[in-house]
Copies of this chain bind each other. A is one copy, B any other.
Amino acid sequence: MSTSLEPDDEVVVLAHEQFPNRAKTAVGVLRYADYDVTAVLDRACAGDTVDDHVPGVSDAPIVAEMADALDVTDPDALLIGIAPIGGGFDESWRADVRAAIEAGCDVVSGLHYFLEDDDEFAALAADHGVDLIDVRRPPEDLTVSEGRARDVDADVVLTVGTDCSTGKMTTTLELVAAARERGIDAGFVPTGQTGIMIAGWGIPVDRVIADFAAGAVERMILDAAEEHDVLFVEGQGTIVHPAYSGVTCSLLHGAMPDALVLTHSAGRESIHGYEDFAIPPAETYVDLYENLADPVAPAEVVAGALDTRALDDDAAAEAAVDDYADAIGAPATDPVRFGVDQILDAL
């Protein structure tokens, strides 16, 4: 799966009424993608600029609709940067997608609703010679893992977590960037739709047939190991998740990492969306992940990443990070607040 987005491409990101706080994909793309975001569509804050809401990334105008974006930029693609619960397509976006296709833009989407299966969009895209790229549709030719990922030459680092949404993708991307700054030939292995849109390639492991999930991860590892010396693999879910643990387990045994980075969200006490399921102590996770990895391909939790967004001041965040490091018996940091040097040093 490739999104066909190139580093020099200009991209418009759709994030209606959800930018920035409920637009995880849009913000991820702004922060980490190589291509240029030249406009954001959000009718709720049109007239503002990206910098008003997300400082520290390349600035761009926020406009109300695709037609407005086409007045200020000549984009190569429109990217759907939000995902309603359930992953459906919001009909209020139809005019924007139509306008993008008519302007010769590819459209990149991570929705469960596949644009390719939408009769109007499919016909229009054919007329205008553009691609509809549904990154959540897995390749057709996946198969079972052969158990080969542990044999690759590259070092493989997998982020794991105490829950969903604990910063696995962010930590992974920060590690890639920092490693490259140190001159390390680091590769990012994306496993979810946002990561895939940022990187321009990848397989959405959660959408793969369960028997093929580890095989999908293995394929990505084997491919990426040809290109890089160190691979940072985006983890998913948590090994104690009532619904998604199978995906986490497939990632652990499919990637066969050499090292694990355990992510956690400060103050979270129960599984997000499953509040009757308590999050066990961090040291329990260290044992679970290491013991489960061991018979297949041994890996240690070598560092921790704590999301301290919930804590107001740096002193409290620092104390929380210290406590977390003690709990897991390894160095820890908040990748966003304090950087990832401690993790890289531990690796």
Output the least CB separation between A347 and chain B (Å): 24
Output the least CB separation between A303 and chain B (Å): 22
Output the least CB separation between A236 and chain B (Å): 9
CA distance A276 to B254 in the complex (A): 15
Query: Which listed residue, B274, B288, B296, touches A242 by the CB 8 Å rule?
Result: B296
Whether a CB of chain B sits under 8 angstroms from the CB of A14 is no
Residues of chain A from 197 to 252 with CB closer than 8 A to chain B in the complex:
205-211, 213-215, 239-250, 252
Chain B residues, Cβ within 8 Å of A245: 214, 249-250, 252-253, 296
Chain A 137-157: CB-based contact to B (< 8 A → 1; otherwise 0) = 000000011110000000000
Query: Which listed residue, B144, B243, B284, touches A211 by the CB 8 Å rule?
Result: B243
Output the least CB separation between A82 and chain B (Å): 19
Whether a CB of chain B sits under 8 angstroms from the CB of A291 is yes
Residue on B nearest A271 in the bound complex, by CB: B147
Given known pairs A246-B250, A247-B210, A277-B147, the reply for A292 and B295 (CB within 8 Å) is no
Residue on B nearest A256 in the bound complex, by CB: B242
CA distance A242 to B213 in the complex (A): 11
Chain B residues, Cβ within 8 Å of A288: 291-292
Once the chains bind, are B247 and A147 in contact (CB under 8 Å)? no
Whether a CB of chain B sits under 8 angstroms from the CB of A278 is yes
Chain B residues, Cβ within 8 Å of A241: 253, 296
CA distance A240 to B210 in the complex (A): 15
CA distance A296 to B296 in the complex (A): 23
Chain B residues, Cβ within 8 Å of A250: 210, 245-246
Whether a CB of chain B sits under 8 angstroms from the CB of A88 is no
Chain A 255-283: CB-based contact to B (< 8 A → 1; otherwise 0) = 01000000000000000001011111000
- The 3 lowest CB-CB distance pairs between A and B, nearest first, are A246-B250, A147-B242, A249-B249
A209-B210, A245-B296 known; 20 other A-B pairs, CB under 8 Å?
A145-B243, A146-B243, A147-B274, A208-B210, A210-B210, A211-B243, A211-B244, A214-B242, A214-B244, A239-B249, A242-B256, A246-B246, A246-B253, A249-B249, A278-B295, A280-B295, A284-B295, A288-B291, A288-B292, A292-B292
A-B contact pairs, 18 of them (CB 8 A): A144-B244, A147-B243, A147-B276, A208-B209, A210-B210, A210-B246, A214-B245, A240-B292, A241-B253, A242-B254, A242-B296, A243-B253, A246-B250, A277-B295, A278-B295, A279-B295, A280-B295, A288-B291
